[in-house]
A and B are shown apart, each in its own frame.
Chain A
Amino acid sequence: MKNLTRIALTLAFMTGFVWAETITVYKSPTCGCCSEWVKIMEAAGHEVHIKHPVSLQRTKDKLGVPNQLGSCHTSVINDYVFEGHIPEQDVMAFLANPPEGARGLAVPGMPANSPGMAAEGVEYSGFNVIGFDDQNKLFLYKKY
């Protein structure tokens, strides 16, 4: 299934189609910047389902988010995990071509100039998108 998705996504990229994903976002009801990130994903055409778990930390642990990469919200797309304020284009690039063994991406904490945190029109800067794999090994995916 993952392979099929990958092929479809690659095709979508090559042909310039906008590929829409179904995203489950785990967040707290009181998280404003999480909702801002969700709006960005929805504006890009993705379908977002929001869940408010009793314990966000327990959800992150269950989904296998490495402790040091924690942010406010956690998203799941096609069994991959996306933690925090990751730019939409990086999520899509990752899904189209996941590095071997990778389980997901994260932008730890709440960087000021990240999607959902930055004021509209402000260029994303001053944070790293971190990849993590099934051995909990971390790697730099993209620098802003």
Chain B
Amino acid sequence: MKGLLVLLAVLLMTGAQAEETALEAGQRLYFESGGYGCAVCHGLGAEGGGQAGGYIRGASLVRLNESLAENDPMKPLATVLSETDRQMLIDYLTDLAAIPLVQLTFENGQWSGLSEPLKVNQTAEIVLYNATFEEQAIDLSALGLGQITLQPLARDRRQWKAQSEQFTLPGVALGEIKTVLPGATANTTP
């Protein structure tokens, strides 16, 4: 009986380990590295989020290593990110770079933002930010995401499968941006 339990425990443990793919590990590192994650400085979708770190979708390993060596806020992270960790982070950011990004912000009484060109039948991502002190809702039915409500100053991030290269949303002023190169800033938030 005891042997069975041990076997079961071992099976469960190895099962749990096998569950996380390298890409999921990269995502976990993105949100948890150093206890606060890359997200606090680079945004929920590595799009910058109006924070100090800026846009890093598609960033290279060389660039990450440079930052870990030279950039003051990032230097302490060099001690906790192994070479494998760094590669998994870069794989995650490379994966994100292939996903067209839409950034929408609610301020001054309306939603507005920018969209990278979408690819039909491929995953696209939307990052939302409510920059006001009132709850705001946005109708994303056109994307199949339904209505999303954001608490004051809240952010949200969703993915969907694009049905066309462009889209319109009721009451949303949407501009188009070319895919942003790694290292450039594409912040729409103030």
Interface residues of A (CB under 8 A from B): 27-33, 36, 55-56, 67-72, 108-112, 117, 126, 130, 138-140
Contacts and interface: CB of A to CB of B under 8 A. Distances in A.
A75 B142 CA distance: 43
Contacts of A110: 40-41, 51-53, 73
A70 B151 CA distance: 14
Contact of A117 (B52, B74, B154): B52
Given A30-B77, A111-B52, A70 B40 contact: yes
| Consensus secondary structure, chain B interface | loop
A68 B50 CA distance: 14
Contact of B154 (A55, A68, A111): A68
A97 to B, nearest CB: 21
Nearest to A72: B36
B153 A28 contact: no
Nearest to A33: B73
A25 B154 CA distance: 24
A111 B80 CA distance: 23
A66 B106 CA distance: 19
Contacts of B152: 68, 138
Nearest to B154: A68
Given A30-B76, A30-B79, A31-B35, A68 B49 contact: no
B86 interface: no
24 contacts: A27-B35, A28-B34, A28-B35, A28-B36, A30-B34, A30-B77, A31-B35, A31-B36, A32-B76, A33-B72, A56-B36, A67-B154, A71-B40, A72-B40, A109-B40, A109-B49, A110-B51, A110-B52, A112-B51, A112-B52, A117-B73, A138-B133, A138-B152, A138-B153
Contact of A139 (B34, B36, B40, B133): B133
Given A68-B154, A69-B153, A139-B133, A126 B190 contact: yes
Contacts of B34: 28, 30-31
Nearest to B35: A28
B75 interface: yes
B119 interface: no
Given A28-B36, A33-B73, A68-B155, 7 more contacts: A32-B76, A36-B72, A56-B35, A69-B153, A71-B36, A111-B52, A117-B52
Given A68-B155, A126-B190, A140 B133 contact: yes
Interface in B41-80: 41, 49-53, 72-77, 79-80
Scoring A30, A31, A140 by chain B CB atoms within 10 A of each residue's CB, the highest score goes to A30
A24 to B, nearest CB: 16
